[in-house]
């Protein structure tokens, strides 16, 4: 039977992993994700799981060990943040190209420099083209639910790609909220056992993994990866529908909040969506037709679906918690605006960068942004929210 608990986001993810009971968990600490393997190691020590927990010497090693275990036929997971993910960089691409459906619990933290341990999305957004699925959480409940659903998505026969389960560092990872935990047996039955079709330790079917691909084959392999990413959209929706039948909690590629008749909208990822919802409610009470789209799934990118959801909006602000240094704004802005153009959505759009290095995002900041949209006061290029000029 499901029960209500007060947990941090890191605790919630660790408990989801206890319920899943993965086969292998290599780990190396880095703030603010350290608590996830720390909590999980307690479950190992107490005999609550039979996972092989491996303390390794670096984040590169933790991802390499997870890949090796997954290739051998074991369900694997690791955790990291920021510079730890940067140290994994080489093997992130290998995990995706080898079609290894392992999970990475990524607690978002800004990449150095300057040195900073607080939240933005520069770590995961930097890896947006590595071939990994990327799912983001607004709050602790979503962090837990996303983790429970992750392997069902990644291991699906039409996908078989690694998945990042992302949450905002300190904002959700360390803050305590009331959430609903499903009972252990429900999660176990929902996730199921890992049954790979091909793996290195299968003596009845010898195989190689990650061989050198000459030009005659490499392009086809990359095209197959792209097809798997495309297939993941429907798999994500199917898994979410099944999860909703069990829990009553609905998930999609994104959430529409008061968008039915919205004229002015914001598109945002992560915990700041809660702040934006408060701003929408306040402005609605004043007569403004404000709405919000919270993007849950960034990879695969639901460009066509977002363009359709925004088709009746006059103006939209696309919010990025990462600077791409392209002189054009952030990655979400670039991708969504391209999708809107491709799908003939003519709403005026601006790109706004916010919350870099953990900068506060307040309700009044979001209210002013909506008023800017209402006025039609759209800057050329892109702008920063809360910046000291």
Distance from C-alpha of 294 to C-alpha of 332, rounded to nearest angstrom: 12
130-144, 172-186, 196-210, 349-363: the lowest-pLDDT one: 196-210
Half-sphere exposure of 361 (CA within 13 A, CB side): 29
| Per-residue pLDDT tens over the stretch 262-294 | 999 999 999 999 999 999 999 999 999 999 999
Delimit the CATH 3.40.50.970 region(s) of the chain.
3-247
**Angle of the 184-191 helix axis to the 215-247 helix axis, nearest 10:** 150
| Per-residue pLDDT tens over the stretch 67-103 | 999 999 999 999 999 999 999 999 999 999 999 999 9
pLDDT of residue 74: 98
| Per-residue pLDDT tens over the stretch 43-62 | 999 999 999 999 999 999 99
Residue 308 · residue 340 · CB < 8 Å: no
DSSP assignments along 282-330, one per residue: HHHHTT--EEEEEE-EEES--HHHHHHHTTT-SEEEEEESS--SSSS--
Distance from C-alpha of 355 to C-alpha of 222, rounded to nearest angstrom: 34
Delimit the CATH 3.40.50.920 region(s) of the chain.
254-384
Please name the helix (run of DSSP H) or strand (run of DSSP E) that holds residue 344, with its range, or none: none
Q: Determine the 3-state secondary structure of 248 from DSSP.
A: coil
pLDDT of residue 327: 94
What CATH number has the domain spanning 3-247? 3.40.50.970
Q: Given a cut of 90, is residue 64 above it in pLDDT?
A: yes
Sign, Cα dihedral of 308, 367, 249, 176 = positive
| Per-residue pLDDT tens over the stretch 103-130 | 999 999 999 889 999 999 999 999 999 9
Distant-in-sequence contacts of 272-276, Cβ < 8 A, 24+ apart: 272/319, 272/321, 272/354, 272/355, 272/361, 273/138, 274/138, 274/139, 275/361, 275/362, 275/363, 275/365, 275/366, 276/366
Average pLDDT, the chain: 97
Q: Which fold has domain 254-384?
A: Rossmann fold (3.40.50)
Phi-psi label, residue 329: left if phi above 0, alpha if psi -120 to 50, beta otherwise: left
Instruction: Please give the average per-residue pLDDT across 328-347, as a whole number.
Output: 97
pLDDT of residue 379: 87
Share of the chain above pLDDT 90, in %: 95
| Per-residue pLDDT tens over the stretch 215-251 | 999 999 999 999 999 999 999 999 999 999 999 999 9
pLDDT of residue 1: 85
To the question of pTM greater than 0.95 for the whole model, the response is yes
């Amino acid at each position: 039977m499901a029960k209500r608990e007060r947990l941090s986001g890191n605790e919630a993810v660790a408990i989801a992993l206890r319920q899943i009971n993965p086969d292998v968990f290599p780990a190396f600490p880095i703030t603010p994700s350290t608590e996830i393997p720390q909590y999980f190691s307690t479950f190992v020590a107490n005999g609550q799981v039979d996972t092989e927990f491996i303390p390794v010497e670096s984040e590169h090693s933790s991802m390499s060990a997870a890949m090796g275990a997954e290739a051998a036929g074991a369900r694997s997971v690791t955790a990291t943040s920021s510079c730890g993910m940067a140290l994994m960089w080489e093997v992130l691409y290998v995990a995706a190209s080898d079609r290894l459906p392992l999970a990475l619990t990524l607690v978002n933290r800004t990449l150095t420099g300057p040195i900073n341990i607080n939240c933005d999305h520069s770590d995961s957004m930097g890896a947006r083209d590595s071939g990994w699925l990327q799912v983001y959480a607004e709050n602790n409940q979503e962090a837990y639910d996303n983790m429970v659903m992750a392997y069902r998505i990644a291991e699906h026969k039409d996908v078989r790609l690694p998945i990042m389960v992302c949450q905002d560092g300190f904002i959700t990872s360390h803050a305590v909220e009331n959430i609903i935990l499903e009972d252990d047996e429900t999660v176990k039955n929902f996730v199921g056992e890992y049954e790979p079709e091909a793996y290195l330790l299968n003596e009845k079917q010898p195989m190689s993994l990650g061989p050198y691909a000459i030009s005659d084959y490499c392009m086809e392999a990359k095209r197959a990866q792209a097809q798997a990413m495309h297939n993941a959209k429907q798999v994500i929706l199917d898994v979410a529908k099944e999860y909703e039948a069990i829990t009553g909690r609905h998930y999609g590629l994104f959430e529409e909040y008061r968008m039915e008749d919205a004229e002015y909208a914001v598109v945002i990822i992560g915990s700041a969506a809660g702040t934006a919802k408060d701003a929408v409610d306040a402005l609605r009470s004043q007569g403004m037709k404000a709405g919000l789209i919270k993007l849950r799934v960034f990879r695969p990118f639901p460009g066509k679906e977002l363009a359709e959801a925004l088709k009746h909006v006059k103006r939209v602000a696309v919010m990025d918690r990462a600077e791409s240094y392209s002189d054009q704004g952030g990655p979400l802005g670039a991708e969504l605006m391209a999708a809107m153009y491709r799908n003939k959505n003519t709403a005026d759009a601006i790109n706004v960068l916010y919350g870099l290095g953990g900068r506060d995002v307040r309700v009044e900041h979001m209210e002013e942004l909506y008023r800017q949209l209402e006025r039609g006061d759209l800057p050329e290029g892109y702008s920063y929210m809360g910046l000291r000029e």
